[in-house]
Structure 1
Amino acid sequence: MKLAVGMLMLLLSFMLMPFNIQVERIPSTVMNKSFNATVITPKTYGKTSKKYSVVYVLHGWLNDYDSMSYHTEIGRLSDEYDFIIVMPDGNLNKWYFDSRINSEFRFGTYVGREVPEYIDKKYRTIKKRSARAVTGYSMGGFGAFNAVFNYPETFGNVGSMSGAVEISGFENKWNLRKVFGNYEENKDLWESAAVKNNLNKFGNKKFNIVISCGDEDFFIDINRELHEKMLEAGIKHTYIERPGRHDWDYWREEIKFQLLFFSNYLK
């Protein structure tokens, strides 16, 4: 009897085992370095042979690959929606961009191509753009759109939370000059980096797009403008504006909405 109860308890504990979090060291050929990434697999991953959709979540300025693990319930959300979630490192402040000012900064290529290639080789993933999403908060929102514009074959779904969707006007902030150079000398690059100026790169491919920003966020005006530009261009998207600032109180809730949104498309 005791043995049977023990076996039952063991079985129940196995069935209730939550998501798994681990840190991967993912190499970059273009930068000749490796960087950490948090990878969350849902509780079903070790119990089936199925292949999984993947959501890539990019962190904000001066955060890192495990910031969202500390501040949100993203692991539980991996279980809820049965996604693999990958949070690569953006080296604190490199803006997920291939800098023409400093050739050592190639984080656009890293998150757009190299990280997904690594994940697809090591994990049981659905290797289709329709089964991959990329989103991020603040700097990561900029990075998510940059990844989609430059690697439309990789991602079919994109989101942004409180995204820095336009960098002009913030010339002296957030290490931008180290990536984009002096504004006066590189005005064309600064202006061309704005998401609103790259909408033509969506082309004829199908994308599922969600943009959100708090109404007290200092990025609210540029997000509203992006929303209007997308409406004018006839680009189908979901725009969410609700009470909130540029902080974890907002992102903690917003990541829930973003993953719910993606769950409608990642099959």
Structure 2
Amino acid sequence: MSVKTTIFFIVALLASVVAKAAKVDTITIKAAEMPQPIEVTIIVPDGACATHRVPTVYLLNGFGGDHKQWTTTCKQLPALADQYGMAMVMPDGCDSWYWDAPANPRVKMETFITKRLVPYIDAHYPTLPEASKRAITGLSMGGHGALWLGIRHPDIWKNIGSTSGGVNILPFTERWKMKDALGAYTSATAKIWETHTVINLVPQMIPGANNIIFDCGSEDFFSGVNASLHQKLLEAKIPHDYISRPGNHSHKYWSNSILYHLLYFSRHFGK
């Protein structure tokens, strides 16, 4: 084989690899539910189109992060989107904890995601508009948000997860600007705080309403509250996958844990 022929085949091979790469978009959505436009990163796998719609995983960022946090934490997300044939949607969480904030009526992140973002994605991208073909997970604040939204809206997300999630906020009432959303923790606001933490949603959960995976590093400051959530789910007989593995609250941990979440979701999308 001549040098020119060899070069031609190498160029052709590289071109085919590029042609098959997932598409990464960043869009901005203006919405009455939020005081500022929300940026969203979207990954669409190769081959997805109007006649070949794909499942969707919503990935929520942590406190201090934004819509780019997940693609920075796990740079292989586009390749994973292609591998599993799934779209990924990453909205900027705006340090909102993904609530409709009782103490700030201008911030309605739960409403924005459930009523505006999900319909927008299904209308403008080749995604399957069914709860069984949607998943939501997130890291830290986003882990709390993913379970908060998923448990409260099983008609939107059948498959839900959390990695290093702040699943019980009550031990942390002075942290991460939560009082901007819920008000300072006092006897007068205690009920609001208690009803806005994931662990207290367990009594209203229905077995089988969601497929659930969550994990936390054994050296993470959220390790204890995740273990408590696991125990409460066991007592309530709510099926779930729970993993505690060595690790702390870090991008290194999340870049590994998300691999297990995507595999879990992929298997359930196929059922």
Normalization by structure 2: what TM-score? 0.91
Question: In 2 relative to 1, CA 22–112 (structure 1 residues): closer, same or farther, beyond 3 Å?
Answer: same
| Cα distance between partner residues in 2 of 1:113 and 1:148 | 14
Question: In 2 relative to 1, CA 150–33 (structure 1 residues): closer, same or farther, beyond 3 Å?
Answer: farther
Where has structure 1 moved over 6 Å in runs of 4 or more? none
Residue identity opposite 2:104 in structure 1: N
Question: Quick check: 1:215–1:245 contact (8 Å CA) kept in 2?
Answer: yes
Note if 1:90 corresponds to 2:102. Answer: no
Note if 1:56 corresponds to 2:58. Answer: yes
For 1:7-26, what aligned pairs fall within 5 Å after superposition? 9-10=11-12, 13-14=15-16, 16-17=18-19, 18-26=21-29
| Cα distance between partner residues in 1 of 2:134 and 2:31 | 20
Larger displacement relative to structure 2 (204-213 or 81-90) = 204-213
Please give the root-mean-square deviation of Cα atoms over the aligned residues, in Å.
2.2
1:141 is aligned to 143
| Cα distance between partner residues in 2 of 1:31 and 1:51 | 29
| Cα distance between partner residues in 2 of 1:35 and 1:244 | 32
1:173 is aligned to 175
1:242 is aligned to 245
2:117 is aligned to 115
Question: Quick check: 2:208–2:239 contact (8 Å CA) kept in 1?
Answer: no
Deviation string 1:49-68 (CA, Å, 9 cap, x unpaired) is: 30110000000000000111
Residue identity opposite 2:48 in structure 1: Y
Residue identity opposite 1:213 in structure 2: C
1:125 is aligned to 127
1:45 is aligned to 48
Identity %: 33
Q: Give how far 1:200 is off.
A: 3.4
| Cα distance between partner residues in 1 of 2:252 and 2:17 | 32
| Cα distance between partner residues in 1 of 2:9 and 2:257 | 40
| Cα distance between partner residues in 2 of 1:94 and 1:12 | 42
Task: Classify the secondary structure of the residue corresponding to 1:264.
Answer: helix
Residue identity opposite 2:26 in structure 1: V
Identify which of 185, 190, 210 aligns with 1:187: 190
Identify which of 71, 74, 96 aligns with 2:73: 71
Question: Quick check: 1:113–1:151 contact (8 Å CA) kept in 2?
Answer: no
Q: Give how far 1:8 is off.
A: 9.5
| Cα distance between partner residues in 1 of 2:249 and 2:115 | 29
1:164 is aligned to 166
Q: Give how far 1:20 is off.
A: 1.4
Identify which of 202, 206, 215 aligns with 2:205: 202
Residue identity opposite 2:57 in structure 1: V
Question: In 2 relative to 1, CA 201–13 (structure 1 residues): closer, same or farther, beyond 3 Å?
Answer: farther
Question: Quick check: 2:62–2:141 contact (8 Å CA) kept in 1?
Answer: yes
Deviation string 1:186-228 (CA, Å, 9 cap, x unpaired) is: 1111112222211233336531100100000000000000000
**Structure 1 unmatched runs, 5+:** none
Task: Classify the secondary structure of the residue corresponding to 2:212.
Answer: strand
| Cα distance between partner residues in 2 of 1:208 and 1:150 | 13
Q: Give how far 1:70 is off.
A: 1.5
Deviation string 1:111-151 (CA, Å, 9 cap, x unpaired) is: 23321111000011111000000000000011011112332
Residue identity opposite 2:64 in structure 1: L
Question: Quick check: 1:112–1:148 contact (8 Å CA) kept in 2?
Answer: no
**Structure 2 unmatched runs, 5+:** none
Larger displacement relative to structure 2 (5-14 or 116-125) = 5-14
Question: In 2 relative to 1, CA 217–7 (structure 1 residues): closer, same or farther, beyond 3 Å?
Answer: closer
Residue identity opposite 1:117 in structure 2: P
| Cα distance between partner residues in 2 of 1:140 and 1:32 | 20
Residue identity opposite 1:235 in structure 2: I
Task: Classify the secondary structure of the residue corresponding to 2:47.
Answer: coil
Q: Give how far 1:44 is off.
A: 2.2
| Cα distance between partner residues in 2 of 1:174 and 1:12 | 45
Q: Give how far 1:43 is off.
A: 2.0
2:265 is aligned to 262
